[in-house]
Amino acid sequence: MPQAINLHSTCPKVLVSLGSNATSSLRESAKIIHDAVEQLAALGLRITRKSRYYSTPCFPAGAGPDFVNAVVGIDSDLPPADILAVLHEVEEAFGRERPSRWAPRTLDLDLLACGDQILPDIFILKRWMTLPLAEQMKQAPDQLILPHPRLHERAFVLIPLADVAPQWRHPITQMTVKQMVDELPDADKKGVLPYTYP
């Protein structure tokens, strides 16, 4: 996928990030993401936009091989919980296991946003958005939180997201994706490099 593909001019309803670092082969990880996008479409989620692929350092540093990351925009009227269930179904089909937080993974699908919905409420979202890294490494939410509480600070999410929805606006910070990318430290942005597949 050498270039981002935008099939519609409006911002997608649903934004989903994809990542894989199953092996040390970026090509194999990129193929997994390619196949996962096809599987999402086969399960009825209409893909309207696709980002380029990017190679990105594992987060946190030293936790495993480098990732291939991408983002897709989806047009769906399903409620967020049902979309999340489809994402989990696809992860399972690709052999995703969850032995520990941030362990290497065959496929990681994250529901980033559904329009400007805030779930379950603004107070819980803000709590998770401000959770220190040391606590993030020990805790994981036991419920769906939207938008994804860490997307605003992760280059490996924001840079591909800018291919798909640069004008999507975070409902808490009111910053667009483009503005959030601009706010990232240069060192973080330099680690996110376009990867051509196949």
Which pLDDT score is estimated for 195?
A: 95
Separation between Cα atoms, residue 57 and residue 147, nearest integer Å: 23
Specify burial of residue 90 (Cβ count, 10 A radius: 0-12, 13-18, 19+).
buried
Tell me which H or E stretch contains 34.
helix 26-42
Which pLDDT score is estimated for 17?
A: 98
Displacement of CA 139 from its chain's centroid (Å):
19
Q: What is the pLDDT of residues 59-108, one digit of tens each?
A: 666 667 889 999 999 999 999 999 999 999 999 998 865 544 445 568 99
Contact 76, 111 (CB under 8 A): no
pTM: 0.89
User: Is residue 5 predicted with pLDDT exceeding 70?
Assistant: no
Going from N- to C-terminal start, the domains of the chain cover 5-195
Separation between Cα atoms, residue 175 and residue 23, nearest integer Å: 35
Q: What's the CATH fold of domain 5-195?
A: Alpha-Beta Plaits (3.30.70)
Q: What is the pLDDT of residues 103-129, one digit of tens each?
A: 556 899 999 999 999 999 999 999 999
pLDDT band, residue 22 (cuts 50/70/90): confident
- The token pair that represents 65 in the structure block: 């091989």
